[in-house]
Amino acid sequence: MRAVIDTNVLLVANGQHDGVSTDCVTECVRRLQAMEKSGVTVIDDGFRILNEYKHKTSLHSPKGVGDVFLKGLLRNTENPARVQQVRLTELVDNDFAEFPDPILQPEFDAPDRKFVAVAHAHPDKPPVWQAADCKWLDWWPALQAKGVRIEFLCQSDACKFYRNKFPNKPLPALPN
């Protein structure tokens, strides 16, 4: 198992995301524990992803599964059997040459672009794990067309948040 993991997966696993279901928390915990046990987490060579994790979680007195997961990642950054790093070319702040769709990139949340760029830059094109950030529901089809898969770990939660955030828009299709 190999994946690029959006920060919200760690936050949900920590209980730091209001409004998510118990099922969503359980799935994020399960996925992070499985990844820690036998998976490979893919990050960028400039530690942008790790720095975001560190900024949003707690390394001191870790309490949640996301915190513990981050500690394991930091211990293994030099172990390619656990953590793989890909080189990103940052053209300007949060704008990456490796982002697969130059038309979509300006529409994409700037802090989330690195996850897509990392997945696209990796030779195996690992999926991006997404918990409950509903905006990705609009973006996944264009990304998939460019070879980047998004795995929604909490589909019903993402849909619920989408309906609340965009009440006048129809709910987008979900990936298989």
Q: Which two tokens stand for residue 6?
A: 């959006």
Whether pLDDT at 62 is above 80: no
Question: Is 170 a domain residue?
Answer: no
DSSP 70-96: HHHHHHTTT-TTTEEEE---EEETTEE
Number of domains the chain is built from: 1
The verdict on residue 102 lying in a domain is yes
- For residue 110, the enclosing domain spans 2-165
Mean pLDDT of 49-73: 90
Write down the pTM of the prediction.
0.95
Q: What CATH number does residue 101 fall under?
A: 3.40.50
| Percentage above 70 pLDDT, the chain | 99
pLDDT of residue 105: 95
- Domain-located, residue 173: no
Residue 51 in any domain: the answer is yes
The helix (H) or strand (E) run that includes residue 133 is: none
Mean pLDDT of 95-100: 98
Whether residue 174 is contained in a domain is answered as: no
Q: Could you tell me if residue 41 is left (phi over 0), alpha (psi between -120 and 50 degrees) or otherwise beta?
A: beta
Q: What is the pLDDT of residues 69-87, one digit of tens each?
A: 999 999 999 999 999 999 9
